Amino acid sequence: MSFGYTSKKLLYKNLSLTIEGGSIYGLLGKNGAGKSTLLKNMVGTLFPVEGEILINGKSPKKRQPSFLQTIYYIPEDVFIPALTIKQYKNLFAPFYPEFNEANYYKYLDELEVKVDGKLNKLSFGQQKKFIIAFALACNTKVLLMDEPTNGLDIPSKTQFRKLIASIMYDDRIIFISTHQVRDLENMIDNVIIVDNGDLLLHSSIINISNKLCFKTVSEIPANAKILYKEPMLKGAAVVMENINKEDSKLNLEHLFTGVTENPALTKEIFSAN
């Protein structure tokens, strides 16, 4: 598909992407890279100018109820009307047939969202946690989250990661967009990196670990394909091609910087068998 806010300048041109069920995708990109735009195209609040997006065989552009009740989108800024927790559930939950009331209160409890009055009086972070709890309780097959950890304190981010891991099932797709890459560590199993509308990387964590090695070296090996290097007190932290099939711990921040700075080398490493 192609998309642009004006017909003359396209943000995404001929983007081709296949998302598989049962995965948590991390959509990474700098500010203004087009992450939110991609999510909006997926949920149907923006339409591609060319091509088509299909989610479980349905076109988001049509915004059919049968499609919308299987997808929940949490935008970066959330909107909460002047309702209580119970009123919100009573008004919005009936639109989602798989909504689970017990889980709703459980998630609210786990995220420590407690309010007796109207939800719109809550802080931004609390509102965001409320919407996350509601979205998870809706049990939709697809869950799209745009910068969900923005505004969350450190304990809430930890709780968020635990919750996401606990609600995953076989054919569910969770898509999390963020520029705070550390928030996604140990949570996602697929990485998509976009920049200026280009898809720089789309790979599983397993494949990334097979292709790349993340380590600290005292000297940069000669002739190694270095995707990223960062000088440290003793040596340098590097992301390099994993030619010796070493096991290493993925560093999303280093991966992201390396991929956005060296898209050509990324393509070369990931296209090699």
Partner 1 sequence: MNDIFEFKRFGLLFKKTITERYVQLIGITGLALAATLVIYSAVLYFTGGMGRNLAQNLSFVYGIIGGGCFLGSVIFGYFNTNASGAAYLTLPVSAFEKWFCGMLIIGVLFPSLFLVFYRLIDSCFVLFYHNGLNKNDPRYKDMYDAVQVYAFNNNFAKQCVLIYANFASAMMLGSLYFNKVSAVKTALVYGCVLALLYFLNLIIANLLFHNVDSAFPFDAVFIKVGNDVGILGLPDAIANLVQLAIQFIIPGILFLTVFIRLREKEI
Binding site for partner 1 (CB under 8 A): 40, 43-47, 62-66, 68-69, 71-73, 75, 77-79, 81-83, 87, 91-92, 94-96
Compute the least distance from the CB of residue 66 to partner 1, in Å: 5
Compute the least distance from the CB of residue 232 to partner 1, in Å: 41
Nearer to partner 1, 111 or 144 (CB): 144
Nearer to partner 1, 96 or 256 (CB): 96
Nearer to partner 1, 69 or 248 (CB): 69
Compute the least distance from the CB of residue 209 to partner 1, in Å: 35
Nearer to partner 1, 73 or 228 (CB): 73
Compute the least distance from the CB of residue 69 to partner 1, in Å: 4
Compute the least distance from the CB of residue 247 to partner 1, in Å: 42
Overall residue count recorded for the chain in this entry: 273
Nearer to partner 1, 49 or 199 (CB): 49
